Chains A and B, each alone.
Chain A
Amino acid sequence: MSTKHLLKTAVMAASLMTMPSLAAAQTSGTLTVTATVESSIGMTFENDASGVALTGASTNAATMAFGAVSAYNTIATPNVTRSVSASDFTVSSLFGVKVVKANSSSSSYTLAAALGSADATNTWRINSTTLTTANQNLGTGYTYNTAVAHTVNLTVPLTASTGALSKVLNFTVTAN
């Protein structure tokens, strides 16, 4: 066999030997990923088994509808309680506030509430705290991840005119 033939054979052999390498051809790249994990808390309003059913329960924008209330007529809405005094009557209902946290070392939270706008006629209270348009502290040391029951109380003077009323109550949660 001549050197020429040997060279041809060897080149062909080398080509065949490298064919599997074609199937293994590969390329790589790197993707660097960055993020900053932040602490966060969130609150939701929850139904209380003994309270008025909320519209928008388990969200942070719920509605509690007392329905028709009066000093002496029957209140049709379930779980609305009433007390009547010489000058006014108060209707009440339980509701829950649930606060969750993530990526936080906080062990408890403080809850505050305020009226969205002033009410010159009626009195609004959460638990025993009378609300104004400024945040009122409803308590500290509340526990995360569980619905904590609170009571909303609406006191209506017997002298008040009849008609619909509504009020936005703003709640603020602060991690301790």
Chain B
Amino acid sequence: MTHEERGLLGGLCRWSLVVGLTLFPARLHAQLLSAISLSFTSIPGSVPLGGAGTNSASVDFGNVSALQPLNGGVSRTVGASSYTVSTDFGVRATKNSLGLLSPNYTLRARLQSAQSLTWRVDGTTLTTTDAIIGTSQPYETSVPHSLSFVVPFSHAAGTVNTVLEITAIAN
């Protein structure tokens, strides 16, 4: 191999490395995204979650009304023109070795689609845009959060469905 050929080969190797390492961080990033994980937990005295222990859970308040008895674990406050029903759910975030440097996490929540009723987590009204529910949340602990929604007296009777997207971000 001539000196020019070796130089050309060395240049190709260097550029290949540059190109490869430019792409490489994206793969690392994808790995770091899984540095923490989240699951929903049931809180004693509140509505038991369907799918507790997973990151795709459900809460069924059952029949709710302003004046009739409610299911166990559901609480209610009645105002002049609306009532609010609530229950608690838990969020447990865990981190693996890739997340060792993170001391705690920030929790955010949003509605996956706009709703006619007002939904709140820990008193924060949700929209389809992420809202901060809490900062410095501890890992490896089921942290209880209040989930509530407001039903105006004028709201028609019927089924209510919504999906909350809860996000934990490593600090």
Contacts and interface: CB of A to CB of B under 8 A. Distances in A.
Interface of A: 3, 6-7, 10-11, 13-15, 17-18, 21-42, 100-105
Interface string B22-54: 001100110011111111100000000100001
Contacts of A30: 55-57, 112, 163-166
Interface in B115-147: 119, 147
A15 B21 CA distance: 10
Given A14-B25, A30-B55, A101 B153 contact: yes
A32 B101 CA distance: 32
Given A21-B25, A25-B33, A31 B164 contact: yes
A27 B36 contact: yes
Contact of B58 (A14, A32, A103): A32
Given A22-B98, A25-B102, A37-B64, A7 B17 contact: yes
B135 to A, nearest CB: 13
Contacts of A36: 61-64, 157-160
A37 B166 contact: no
B166 A39 contact: no
B93 to A, nearest CB: 7
B10 interface: yes
Of B24, B65, B93, B147, most A-chain CB atoms within 10 Å: B65
